[in-house]
């Protein structure tokens, strides 16, 4: 599939996952044909990841397609630029994540979100975990940060958690 219009192809896959979910299909890989699965792999995405966006949209009307696309774009850019089209071959476990109530700088959820964002960027998310889930969205909305912007900030900060914390604090202060 063409990388020139990857966003258009991503939209087709997303729409297909939404339609499949609405018809009762709960098997993410079964939503896509072989060419679509190859396309998703070429942008560093999995069937599960796009299915999670579609499922949440069907249940909560969030995140929007635009948000899903921006998150996928951040992951795609990291996959192409940093990882040079190569997956790490690793998947984190749920036990690798900080607890949901873990705090840093008085912000519960932030340690978990940082770990999830790093795993999302590297393509190491387990099927049972979603970057941009309801808990992530609630936290990010509260601190006035878009989920894709948070991914890009985590990418830019590398391993420096303090830079991420300062970014979140700064954005949170700008909330209206």
Query: Each residue's pLDDT tens digit in the chain (176 positions)?
Result: 678 999 999 999 999 999 999 999 999 999 999 999 999 999 999 999 999 999 999 999 999 999 999 999 999 999 999 999 999 999 999 999 999 999 999 999 999 999 999 999 999 999 999 999 999 999 999 999 999 999 999 999 999 999 999 999 999 887 65
Predicted TM-score (pTM) of this structure: 0.95
Helix, strand, or coil here: 130? coil
The reported pLDDT for the residue numbered 76 is: 98
Phi, psi of 103 (to 5 degrees): -125, 155
Q: Spell out the domain ranges in the chain.
A: 1-87, 89-176
Q: 38 is written with which tokens?
A: 């190859």
CA atoms in the 13 A half-sphere facing the CB of 158? 1
**Integer Cα distance of 58 and 118 in angstroms:** 26
Helices (runs of H) and strands (runs of E) counted in the chain:
8, 2
- Residues present in the chain in total: 176
Q: Which two tokens stand for residue 20?
A: 């499949």
* DSSP run (H or E) holding 104: strand 103-104
Rounded Cα distance, 38 and 15, in Å: 17
């Amino acid at each position: 599939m063409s990388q020139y219009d990857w966003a258009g192809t991503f939209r087709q896959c997303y729409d297909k996952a939404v339609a499949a979910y609405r018809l009762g299909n709960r098997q993410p890989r079964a939503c896509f044909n072989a060419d679509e699965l190859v396309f998703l792999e070429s942008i560093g995405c999995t069937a599960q990841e796009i299915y999670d966006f579609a499922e949440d949209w069907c249940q909560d009307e969030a995140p929007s397609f635009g948000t899903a696309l921006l998150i996928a774009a951040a992951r795609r850019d990291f996959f192409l630029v940093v990882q040079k089209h190569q997956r790490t071959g690793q998947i984190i476990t749920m036990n690798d994540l900080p607890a949901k109530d873990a705090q840093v700088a008085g912000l519960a959820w932030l340690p978990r979100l940082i770990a999830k964002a790093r795993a999302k960027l590297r393509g190491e998310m387990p099927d049972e975990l979603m970057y941009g889930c309801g808990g992530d969205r609630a936290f990010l909305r509260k601190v006035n940060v878009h989920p894709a912007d948070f991914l890009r900030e985590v990418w830019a900060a590398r391993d420096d958690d303090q830079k991420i914390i300062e970014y979140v604090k700064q954005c949170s202060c700008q909330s209206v």
